Amino acid sequence: MLKLFLQVRPIAFIVVLLVTWQVAVNRHPGQLLPGPLQVIRGIGDLLQHGLLLKYVVASMFRVTWGFLLAAAIAIPLGLTIGWYRRAEMAFNPLVQIFRPISPLAWIPIAILWFGVGDLAAIFLIFVACFFSLLLTAMSAVHNIPAVYINVGRNFGLSTSDFVYRVLYPAVAPQLITGLRITLGIAWLVVVAAEMIAVSSGLGFLIVDARNAGNRYDLVVAGMVIIGIIGLLLDLGMRSLERVKSFRWGYSEN
């Protein structure tokens, strides 16, 4: 009974908030915010016109490419740099300069290089993910306990065996955490990128709904959908952390 209550509690809390929101909007009808029912109707509208699915797919498409490209380049590069102390000494200042630059600052350059379109958005996501993943990979290598490296050497592994059987499994848990956080960043950036660089996707939906007739129900509908998809992405990545051969990296006991 208590368990059921604990499971239901977060949902119950959301329901209470929604009801409060609706009541408040009913009492003071005005321009401040559309009510939840309006938002739900807005989502219904989007579904009806086939826009919801189209925009979600467009946003996911950009995130997927930007994120995967960044992972494919930044992780091997970061692991290599982290492994060789000299390489790290050479690269680190550069990384530290680029890292604090907001990915949004790259928007003009993205448009200059790739024009207005998918490529510019993908590039922005790539940039946002790249430095985050590079640093994750570098620090993951640093944190490998020396014991694992020594055991690997002791058993006479070839370089490729060492990478595959010691280095990779030793960094995997930290990489997965890094990937999860970075995917969150990518999802933040895609919305901003779509507001400026393209004419589709959830970010575009929000700007467009406001510009074309102050449809604030659609603005909030867009926000809600972004939030829900972000949550689902995070849950998906979290499920990786429960894989048995990764789990050791998370439970401190």
Enumerate binding residues for other proteins (CB under 8 A). Answer: 145, 147-148, 150-151, 153-156, 161, 165-166, 169-170, 172, 244-249, 251, 253
Could you tell me if 231 and 159 are in contact, meaning their C-beta atoms sit under 8 angstroms apart?
no
Report d(CA 252, CA 177) in Å as an integer: 15
Distance, in Å, from the CA atom of 129 to the CA atom of 123, rounded to the nearest integer, reads 10
Q: Which of 181, 51, 67 is nearest to 121 (CA)?
A: 67
- By C-beta, is 7 or 150 nearer to other proteins? 150
By C-beta, is 31 or 158 nearer to other proteins? 158
Question: Residue 25 or 240: which CB sits closer to other proteins?
Answer: 240
CB-nearer residue toward other proteins: 16 or 151: 151
Cα maximum dimension of the chain:
75
Instruction: Return the closest-CA partner of residue 132 out of 103, 153, 108, 104.
Output: 103
Cα torsion 114, 120, 126, 127: sign: positive
Nearer to other proteins, 35 or 152 (CB): 152
Question: Minimal distance in Å, beta carbon 242 to other proteins?
Answer: 13
- At its nearest, how many Å lie between other proteins and the CB of residue 145? 6
Smallest distance, other proteins to C-beta of residue 213, A: 55
Residue 147: Cβ-neighbour burial (10 angstroms; 0-12, 13-18, 19+): exposed
In whole angstroms, the minimum distance from the beta carbon of 137 to other proteins comes to 17
Least spacing, CB of residue 135 vs other proteins, in Å: 23
